[in-house]
Amino acid sequence: MTSAVSFSPANVQMLQARGGHGHAAFGSCSAVPRAGPRLRSTVVRVSSEQEAAAAVRAPSGRTIEECEADAVAGRFPAPPPLVRPKAPEGTPEIRPLDMTKRPRRNRKSPTLRAAFQETTISPANFVLPLFIHEGEDDAPIGAMPGCYRLGWRHGLLEEVYKARDVGVNSFVLFPKVPDALKSPTGDEAYNDNGLVPRTIRLLKDKFPDIVIYTDVALDPYSSDGHDGIVREDANHWLVCLASGVIMNDETVYQLCKQAVSQARAGADVVSPSDMMDGRVGALRAALDAEGFHDVSIMSYTAKYASSFYGPFREALDSNPRFGDKKTYQMNPANYREALIETAADEAEGADILLVKPGLPYLDVIRLLRDNSALPIAAYQVSGEYSMIKAGGALGMIDEQKVMMESLMCLRRAGADIILTYFARQAAGVLCGMGPK
């Protein structure tokens, strides 16, 4: 298409013909058409600024020049009347407080509140935990309304598809392992054809761009239900309620094989939740030795021996056969101890530091945030989820508002990502697919 353009202070003329392309010589402000048959052209005229301004009139029919002349002469139009809201009857008449700073001024309208909001949240901040099992059908989890053990070949794919539809693209896998495959040493944890590696390969085949986190611990695979190998030793000082000892270094050896198996299947982030000493460094060395330098480690840095985990253990049928987990998980009364775990995990090569549980441990999340440059994760655990669900079902709280507030509080405390069973529901709210 050939075109010719000429400029002048008063107007612009564009001559446009069909066929060919034009080349403008901007130094001379003229267009040089290609040689060829003369074609019919169209002329478009743009008026000068003065002509255009004269053509614009106010709603009253007066021109801009007339309105400006009135303003210069001091003849201003009458503004809308000022209406002050009337206080309710009985409000005392007082002298205003003598203060220059009134923080409420920055909260007086939705627009101002949105402009000054310090913390934001989006679906990108969520990691959705997925319970998987060998069955074909999805099995509801009684203690966690709305959550299911997903059939790894069917229900799982549907759940991931729905989550992606609202912007959630990160997932962490937790397997319900058949009892017949459990053993004292948890050997099923590093079976390359086990439930978790098969699931990773399936998900990466269907959704190659998602981020898959995995759980590195022996409790789903252990016949004892503990995160590590148990040695029967009632007289040892590391006893679990006089019933056995959790063997640290031998457990770490098993965990390394588990993490390498998960990385081999395509895991993006391996997440040791076992709380054994030295496991982050050992995992990093094992992964690097197998060529998995790009696989990240999200360490459960401050995982407390909490009572908020009950519904989760029902979901995986992984309650300890005896005792508790207090010899390896942290004491809920301790705060400074988290700094010891943080320093160790950073030195050993962790990429992400996680605090679990979430909402009851906001102070610990902030402690890690203030003392580490690494990304901080928070796990809003099953007990937190189920309490909000139960309170909403009983009409005692507004489930959706409390859900969103709790997630925002975790972000405000310093969490970059949040592992939460509310991920899909909350993302739907953020995407405008539900009432806010």
Task: Please give the pLDDT value at position 310.
Answer: 82
Whether residues 44 and 140 fall in one domain:
no
Whether residues 164 and 34 fall in one domain:
no
Q: Which residue has the higher pLDDT, 60 or 327?
A: 327
Whether residues 43 and 130 fall in one domain:
no
Band the pLDDT of 187: cuts 50, 70, 90: very high
Whether residues 139 and 238 fall in one domain:
yes
162 labelled catalytic: no
Task: Please give the pLDDT value at position 155.
Answer: 92
Whether residues 42 and 189 fall in one domain:
no
pLDDT at 411 over 50: yes
Provide mean pLDDT across the span 206-217.
97
Whether residues 370 and 282 fall in one domain:
yes
Task: Find all residues with CB under 8 Å of 399, minimum gap 6, and list them.
Answer: 388, 389, 391, 392, 393
Whether residues 384 and 238 fall in one domain:
yes
- Order of strands across the sheet with 12-17? 3-7, 12-17, 41-46
What pLDDT digit, counting tens, does each position of 274-318 carry?
Answer: 999 999 999 999 999 999 999 999 999 999 999 998 887 777 666
Full-model pTM: 0.81
Establish how many alpha carbons lie within 13 A of residue 427's alpha carbon, considering only the half-sphere containing its beta carbon: 22
Comparing 66-70, 125-129, 364-368, the range with the smallest average pLDDT is 66-70
What pLDDT digit, counting tens, does each position of 370-383 carry?
Answer: 999 999 999 999 99
Whether residues 231 and 344 fall in one domain:
yes
Q: Is residue 336 part of a domain?
A: yes
Task: Please give the pLDDT value at position 6.
Answer: 46
pLDDT at 416 over 90: yes
Q: Is residue 265 part of a domain?
A: yes
Task: Please give the pLDDT value at position 10.
Answer: 45
What pLDDT digit, counting tens, does each position of 74-89 carry?
Answer: 888 888 888 888 899 9
Give me the number of domains the chain comprises. 2
Q: Which residue has the higher pLDDT, 319 or 428?
A: 428
Whether residues 255 and 147 fall in one domain:
yes
Q: Is residue 228 part of a domain?
A: yes
Q: Which residue has the higher pLDDT, 65 or 409?
A: 409
101 labelled catalytic: no
Q: Report the CATH number at residue 368.
A: 3.20.20.70
Give the span between the Cα atoms of 332 and 323, in whole angstroms. 17
Whether residues 220 and 352 fall in one domain:
yes
Calculate what percentage of the chain has a pLDDT beyond 90.
70
Task: Please give the pLDDT value at position 18.
Answer: 43
What pLDDT digit, counting tens, does each position of 15-69 carry?
Answer: 344 444 444 444 444 444 444 445 455 555 555 555 555 555 556 788 889 888 9
Provide mean pLDDT across the span 323-345.
95
Average pLDDT, the chain: 86
Q: Is residue 263 part of a domain?
A: yes
Range of the domain at 248: 123-429
Catalytic residue selected from 182, 303, 325, 389: 303
Whether residues 170 and 298 fall in one domain:
yes
C-alpha torsion angle, residues 259, 265, 269, 271 (rounded to 10)? -30
What 3-state DSSP class applies to 402?
Answer: helix
Judge contact between 299 and 369, C-beta under 8 A.
no
Q: Is residue 20 part of a domain?
A: yes
Query: End of a domain among 11, 32, 49?
Result: 49
Task: Please give the pLDDT value at position 243.
Answer: 52
What 3-state DSSP class applies to 271?
Answer: strand
Q: Is residue 413 part of a domain?
A: yes
Give the span between the Cα atoms of 345 and 55, in whole angstroms. 72
Q: Is residue 208 part of a domain?
A: yes
Whether residues 191 and 284 fall in one domain:
yes
Q: Is residue 316 part of a domain?
A: yes
What 3-state DSSP class applies to 224?
Answer: coil
What pLDDT digit, counting tens, does each position of 138-170 carry?
Answer: 999 989 999 999 998 889 999 999 999 999 999
What pLDDT digit, counting tens, does each position of 222-279 carry?
Answer: 988 898 999 986 555 444 444 578 999 999 999 999 999 999 999 999 999 999 999 9
Judge contact between 378 and 418, C-beta under 8 A.
yes
Catalytic residue selected from 176, 182, 325, 356: 356
Task: Give buried/exposed letters for 396-427 (b at 16+ CB in 10 A, else e).
Answer: ebebbebbbebbbbbbebbbebbbbbbbbbbb
Q: Strands 211-216, 229-231: parallel, antiparallel or unpaired by DSSP?
A: unpaired
